[in-house]
Structure 1
């Protein structure tokens, strides 16, 4: 096994628990094959950790053990999966929630791989060819730790000519059918093999619960960038007077109707869906004197609408400004982003900028980050990507 040397700051970060390795962390940037196993040391030659190297959007490798005796392979995978499962026993015993993350990459000790649990089905997401090459051993380890598993589906979130497909059935029965899960007592329809997304973003569980239990009752709720309408459904189940869902995707109305129907609710005058651009809807609502008591904004990091390009780090101030124009006095604005490159400081500054443009005043009433089943290791801002702020409009 080769030994590579880390620079002083990277060595300090590694000792403090940071697992991600970037090219600039090394004294001499390494040449490597995907999945190479290496030792890393500090500039004094002292052993730091064992790591595997693989190119991904965050960096070029991950520390996987601080014990030089650790053997990479199925037994190691089984151990980290079991430890992660044991930490989530509270969720496994919660009859009201049957979908959550059971392995969060570096937060659970092995970067480049996440595993989600969907009512007995496991969804694996691979972020590099280096970890994907261990697929057989990882599947066997998961079968041991999850004997109750019905099937495993994979999503390949890396580019490689060797693995051209993005969805892959890994083990068990076919996963192309709809899977009904529960979250906070609400039914959601999910599809594990339907593109990149499944029908629900599991990292927003606490925010949906807050909307349902604390904000929705008797309120008119606008859910922008609504996807399958999960926030809208949470609001409806919390007693919202009405919900309006807005998204550009052509399937939005069909998918939202499906989610509502799974809970015995029909779309109608009280629950509307608009297939259109959010900025266009804000303008439409303003022209027609429509106002809302709660507005949810959870935009994608990047999106394309014809020739128009949306970048969350550039256009959040305008979103906040336009939303506040149609938010009733005393109403609540839920601002969310999952952009890892959008720092909490910049996010806060952009919200303030949007609010001040027309002299609006807002008060922060609640904040959310990733829930406990999405643990983040120390000194790893790239991994703590979710930022949610809830504001009340003062004027």
Structure 2
């Protein structure tokens, strides 16, 4: 046996399907035989006739038992080369096509299925990269992922995160939330606006890069306007409004820790925000009863529909939120409303807005529809 032959990777475990799907997600019920595979493996998937179907992440415990990552045949698949190639393509897209380093040092480097790496999100904050895992198999390859990213960010420190829900569903737990060298807080810049980010706490990976382009667009309407930022988190839209020349900006946020960061963000931008640490629902009702009106209002709530079983209740919350917020927009004012609930479609959200507008007697013109920034791509399969 030659040295070359000895260095060949071991054959991938095989999982055979009894039914296929155009989706990259393959569920337990679609599997005929997975006896050779263990949770966390990368496996060779075969169709019901035994023909190669692709390469996938496997987890027996998860409802999404297989997450397809490639249509390669097993004999051409090399794990290290696969991760290096996918990450190189993802980083090059942000750097060379989007040219994000010209305007920010905070962006999403890897966006899950959109970059062909399901179960992985990687966010860059200065010299820190936060890896958020949604898959056991991805988590087990964290060292390989870090190695691939270090080619482009040799000085980076890495923090690992996963939600309790993901840990329970995927069957793993993080032994550490962040590396010993990762700072408690970092400062990033986005279109000239400065933010403090805490990579080891707060929602998701510590900041919402997905709203960058929407914040910038929002700011162009702010000059001289009295502005309201509802569910402000750490003040993203409010700070952009001040950058755009808003006369007065009120930010409403329930999370006390987020309000503290928001105050610091205002300080480091040498500006002032009227920060209200309160539940947005009663606050909006109170302002409506007082006859308070704003020229510019943004509503960006937390995910109100986390699952299909919560759809009806969540949609009603969206209606109520939008009705209360719309009631505070002065005639001729601008209202930006957002949803981060992936299972609520754009069409459904438009119906929510239509109902909310009708219930408070307002006529609404929709002049722009948008989504997450371009560093959050969606793959068309």
TM-score (norm 1): 0.83
Q: 1:253 to 1:163 in 2, by over 3 A?
A: closer
What is the CA-CA distance between 1:3 and the residue it aligns to? 3.6
2:270 paired with 1:264? yes
The whole-number CA distance in structure 2 between the counterparts of 1:264 and 1:358 is 37
SS in 2 for 1:370: coil
Shift of 1:175: 1.5
> Are 1:137 and 2:144 matched, yes or no?
yes
Distance in 2, Cα, partners of 1:93 & 1:45: 44
Q: Which residue does the alignment assign to 1:387?
A: none
Partner in structure 1 of residue 72 of structure 2: 67
Aligned partner of residue 195 in structure 2, secondary structure: strand
Gap regions ≥5 residues in structure 2: 1-12, 306-311
CA deviation map 1:114-173 (0-9, x unaligned): 1111122211111122211112222222223432x331111123215752557232xxx6
State yes or no: 1:300 paired with 2:302: yes
For residues 119 and 276 of structure 2, what CA distance do their matches in structure 1 show?
37
Conservation of the 8 A alpha-carbon contact between 2:45 and 2:55: yes
Match of 1:96 among 69, 91, 103: 103
Structure with the higher fraction of residues in helix conformation: 2
Q: Specify which structure has the higher proportion of strand.
A: 1
The TM-score normalised by the length of structure 2 is: 0.86
Report what 2:16 is aligned to: 4
Which of 270, 283, 286 is matched with 2:285 structurally? Answer: 283
Aligned counterparts of 2:363 and 2:151: Cα–Cα separation in 1: 54
Q: Which runs of 5+ in 1 are unaligned?
A: 304-309, 380-395
Alignment of 1:1-395 (within 5 A): 1-5=13-17, 7=19, 10=21, 13=22, 18-24=23-29, 26=30, 28=32, 30=34, 33-54=38-59, 59-68=64-73, 69-90=75-96, 91=98, 94-147=101-154, 149-157=155-163, 158-160=166-168, 162-165=172-175, 167-169=177-179, 174-212=181-219, 214-265=220-271, 267=272, 271-302=273-304, 312-378=314-380
Q: In the superposition, relative to structure 1, how do residues 144 and 6 fare at CA in structure 2: closer, same or farther (>3 Å)?
A: farther
Q: Secondary structure at the match of 2:188?
A: strand
CA separation in 2, counterparts of 1:52 and 1:199?
27
Residues in 1 aligned to 2:313 and 2:210: alpha-carbon distance in whole angstroms: 21
1:307-336 deviation line (CA, Å, top 9, x unaligned): xxx964331111111112111001111111
**CA 1:260–1:311 in 2, change beyond 3 Å: closer, same or farther?**
farther
RMSD: 2.5
| Contact in 1 for aligned 2:16/2:48 (Cα 8 Å) | no
* Separation (CA, whole Å) in 2 of partners of 1:209 and 1:57: 39
